[in-house]
Structure 1
Amino acid sequence: MRLDHVSYVTSHDQIADTVQRLGSRLGSAFVDGGIHPRFGTRNFTASLKNGQYIEVVCPLDHPATEQTPWGKAVSKKADEGGGWFTWVFSTKDIAPIEEKFGRDAIEGHRTRPNGSDLKWKQIGVKEIAETREFPFFIQWLSSDHPSQDGTPRGEIKRIVIADKNQLAGSWFKEEILNSLKNVDIEWVDPSLNDHQSGLVAVHISTINGIVILD
């Protein structure tokens, strides 16, 4: 298991401004990741070092948006004003995670503007709708990982998470913390984050120093 990417939500009307703002702070351009037809969302991505990336995702005016856990969760976050949404861990074998959840992972895909298709399995999205401090989990079925889309110019150094219990309710707490390697977690009380749990900020090391995206 390893930290794969972090997700930031914005509205469809604001996604161009959001990727420009975040990209200018990072000194790195976002690329159009395409549409998730099964979930009713679309994203832009910025590659980072260590095989990681930042995703900016928005809901679409699409029937799937309100019919799938991911689409509904993204839409709800966008309606709340957007911002940091979740962190995602990838694994080479998602079966043990499926066993813990007691259900099968679902398959997802997105079609890039160049026509290529990325495919993966994911599980745990239902849980992050209510416990936003938790990550969800994926297994990539495609070899061309999104971190390869562009030149990585930054590295995740710290993730700030509002969580009073510090993942105490997660089945995967030890695996998550042990897989972070050089990424620090700073826990803050939800009372300091409008009483909301979840990601608060991500610290990125860039050629111009540490950039705090909040």
Structure 2
Amino acid sequence: MKLQWDHIIHYIDGLDSFEFPDELLDLHKGGRHEQLGTYNYLSYTDLSYIEFIDVFDRDLLEKAATDEQRLSFAATLERTGYEEGWQRLCFRTDDIEALNDHFISCGLATIGPSKMSRTQPDGQVISWQLLYIDDDRTDRELPFFIQWGESDEVRREQLAPWFQPLRVVNMTLMTQNKDQFIQNWTDWFNAKYDDNQLLIPDGPTFTLMEGDRESIEAITIAGIDHPSIEVHGATYHFQA
């Protein structure tokens, strides 16, 4: 069972008219999540990416937030009062059933795996399965987990034209209980902890800050020489 960082979600109100400042990142129209009332644009580095998301039907989203999709990334928007900025992390696995069994063995309740899909502008349907940890002991919007309907090799071939010569190398996370946060990530996600950073193979490092809230504070993208910027409530750092 493999676990890798897959994507991070940035909510932007008015995404249809959004352009990333100074065109630092390329955005490609993703599609619509018909079950959830959301749509997205994607900025790929490799198979990992930044997902920019907005809502096309708030009534549909808020209905979904009360049923089996109450832990979904879309429901997060409703829970956080549609505040722009970083929303959720997602990790990719190659065996979501085994991952579910692992979480249950850790004493966790889960929702899923559930099948999802979206329709791309060209009519192609992209499918995947999602898994959520159902833990009401934290105020943090926990990471969720995805298994794509096609292999990494097939997806890499399909998505290669969108890849940018960039890499997300770090994410800064704030927590009110650093010790518990570290314990959870090492137990649940088999992360390693060293020098104030959590490490998961083949992905960015996660730097922890202790503070007064549970949040994603910033990401750092390598391959761009540019000052840090705040974009619709989300902080982006860059390094050459």
TM value normalised by structure 2: 0.72
After superposition, where does 1:169-180 map in structure 2 within 5 Å? Answer: 169-170=184-185, 171-175=187-191, 177-180=198-201
Report how many residues are paired: 202
Per-residue CA deviations over 1:68-125 (Å, capped at 9, x if unaligned) read 3223222333x34220011111010001222224553111111111111111101116
After superposition, where does 1:176-195 map in structure 2 within 5 Å? Answer: 177-181=198-202, 183-191=204-212
Q: Percent identity?
A: 17
Q: Secondary structure at the match of 2:31?
A: strand
Q: Is the alpha carbon distance of 1:102 and 1:80 closer, same or farther for their aligned partners in structure 2, counting shifts above 3 Å? A: closer
Is it true that 1:150 corresponds to 2:145 in the alignment? no
Structure 2's unaligned 5+ residue stretches are: 104-108, 193-197, 236-240
Distance 2:49 2:225 in 1: 18
Q: 1:131 aligns with which of 123, 132, 140?
A: 140
Q: 1:57 aligns with which of 53, 56, 61?
A: 53
Output the amino acid matched with 1:53. Answer: Y
Q: Is the alpha carbon distance of 1:153 and 1:109 closer, same or farther for their aligned partners in structure 2, counting shifts above 3 Å? A: same
Partner of 2:88: 86
Partner of 2:214: 197
Per-residue CA deviations over 1:23-48 (Å, capped at 9, x if unaligned) read 33562220110101122211110011
Partner of 1:16: 16
Deviation at 1:7, TM superposition (A): 0.9
Distance 1:114 1:125 in 2: 33
Moved over 6 A (4+): none
Deviation at 1:56, TM superposition (A): 0.7
Partner of 2:183: 168
TM value normalised by structure 1: 0.80
Structure 1's unaligned 5+ residue stretches are: none
Larger Rg: 2
